[in-house]
Chain A
Amino acid sequence: MIQVQHVSKAFKEVQVLSDISIDFEPGKINFIIGRSGQGKSVLLKCMVGLLEPNEGSILYDGLDFLNMDEDQLKAVRQEVGMLFQGAALFDSMTVEENVMFPLTMYSNLSQEQKLVKVNECLERVNLVGKNNLYPAELSGGMKKRTGIARAIIMNPKFLFVDEPNSGLDPETSIVIDNLIRSITYDLGSTTIVVSHDMNSVMEIGDKINFISGGKVEWQGDKHALLKADNQALNNFVFASEFMQEIKENLKGE
């Protein structure tokens, strides 16, 4: 479980996050949604240690992430997997080397054992036989799937996903969404997805946290989301005509 408690973050004069408190439950897909520039990615970066909050604490299974010593931090980081918006694959490495990288750094497995694990992960993300391709030779969807394979190779307890479907076609987006869902439920990991893709939210979201103006405006599940009485949330969720139609249909029911 990850608990964000009273986290605030400012860049010079600009207050980006104000007193954010959220509990992210294990075995569930927790979404952080909101319009662009509302602090979603900053919150994610604070949670993974790329940015330091000005105030507040972040607890990983009750341990204060911001006050850990180097060894504790390294141990927690080995339980974290992250899929970046652009996949962040290492350009100089093949798909196989990218996926194997966490094992190379932290495991004492033999090369053969590592290769077996890599191939299992590649099979899971449907990239069998792509071991020797370089990131430059992959499509956007394949890069994301390679990123997922790298993120899950250590069986992470905590999985962070930043804008998983940006730049992907709807069909590939569903493939990525389904992967996130199956991995979360199979590994029982605490999955946190930052997104503003409502299709994704409605498809796989278990718990949704809506952020607006650097604050948590609304929290709940996807069913409550459609009936929520929050103007900012409604403006965001029902921005498209398609979603407005769904809202009208719901009212009719």
Chain B
Amino acid sequence: MTGILGNFGRYFLLMRKVFSRAEKKKIYRPLITDEMIKIGVQSVGIVALLSFFMGAVVTLQTAANIESGWIPKWTVGYTTRQTMIYEFSSTIVALVLAGKVGSNIASEIGTMRISEQIDALDIMGVNSASYLILPKLIASTIMLPFLVLLAMSVGICSGAIVGTMSKATSLNDFIYGIQYDFDSYGIVYSLIKTVFFAFILSTIPAYHGYYASGGALEVGKSSTKGVVYSMVAVMVANYLLTQILLL
């Protein structure tokens, strides 16, 4: 059994293989487009749905916890904005996609491994790691920031809709709150985190799929491992990046 250090070593060697000896650019273009559709476009629905409810819950919880008359009403909009921009959009979207996209990547590559499709690529002289993983990595890095921006927008809008409809806040107070002391660096910070998360959630499941062995059962296990480890890695990276970028 490969230990933790062994796995780290193998992961970094695989990454080196992904970025070395890439195939011709024209080979990657259609692959990247396909992956952008699978990873990005086909995730718009789930991201929008989850963001809607996240924004709504943050708004209602904030409103419910403001008991003091000294706290202004626009705090609800302000808190919703800060929470959605700084944390929830990037991290929750990354965690959701680690489940949706990560399991897909690990099982797709794992199945290719056990059915000798990766061996076929290697024998043809194709850099299988680069051919299979690089398009997913590039597509994730391009599409995830858009999904995060979508999540921010939908979350804040849903906060305004639900907060107003439930009379937790007025629309004017909410709009004042989301404009109050606005610093665009929050969006930059969130998008920087997203790029790192995109790397994690495309490469860790790919690693587990690439080194899958045995049969269907092992592909299932590698898919589970890929999702769990990428989620853990997202949370660790979230902490480290917050420490570096905000403090």
Contacts and interface: CB of A to CB of B under 8 A. Distances in A.
B126 interface: yes
B111 A82 contact: no
Interface in A79-110: 80, 82, 84-86, 88-91, 101-102, 104-106
Contacts of A48: 123
Contacts, number: 50
Contact of A49 (B112, B120, B123): B123
B119 A84 contact: yes
A67 to B, nearest CB: 17
Contact of A88 (B23, B24, B117): B117
Nearest to B126: A105
Contact of A86 (B24, B115, B123): B115
A77 B23 CA distance: 14
Contacts of A246: none
Contact of A84 (B23, B24, B116): B116
A77 B125 contact: yes
Contacts of B27: 104-105
Interface in A145-166: 160
Nearest to A93: B117
A104 B23 CA distance: 11
A88 B116 contact: yes
A50 B123 contact: yes
Q: How large is the interface on A (under 10, 10 to 19, 20 to 34, 35 or more residues)?
A: 20 to 34
Interface residues of B, number: 16
Interface string B87-128: 000000000000000000000000110011101101111100
A70 B116 contact: no
B115 A49 contact: no
B125 A90 contact: no
B13 to A, nearest CB: 15
B178 to A, nearest CB: 44
A198 interface: no
A76 B111 CA distance: 27
B133 to A, nearest CB: 15
A102 B122 contact: no
Nearest to A77: B125
B122 A90 contact: no
B21 A70 contact: yes
Given A70-B21, A91-B111, A102 B119 contact: no
A172 interface: no
A90 B123 contact: no
B122 A50 contact: yes
A251 interface: no
Contacts of B124: 77-78, 80, 101-102, 105
A113 B125 CA distance: 22
A133 interface: no
A74 interface: yes
Nearest to B34: A92
Point out which of B27, B116, B117, B125 has the most chain A C-beta atoms below 10 A from its C-beta: B125
B230 to A, nearest CB: 23
Nearest to A79: B125
Interface string A33-54: 0000000000000001110000
Given A104-B27, A105-B27, A84 B111 contact: no
A49 B125 CA distance: 10
A105 B123 contact: no
A88 B21 contact: no
Contacts of B24: 105
A46 to B, nearest CB: 12
Interface string B123-139: 11110000000000000
Interface of A: 48-50, 70, 73-74, 76-78, 80, 82, 84-86, 88-91, 101-102, 104-106, 160
25 contacts: A49-B122, A50-B123, A73-B125, A77-B123, A77-B125, A78-B124, A78-B125, A80-B123, A80-B124, A80-B125, A84-B119, A84-B120, A86-B115, A88-B115, A88-B116, A88-B120, A90-B117, A90-B120, A91-B112, A101-B124, A104-B27, A105-B23, A105-B27, A105-B124, A105-B125
Given A50-B123, A91-B111, A105-B24, 9 more contacts: A49-B122, A49-B123, A73-B125, A78-B125, A88-B120, A90-B112, A90-B117, A105-B124, A105-B126
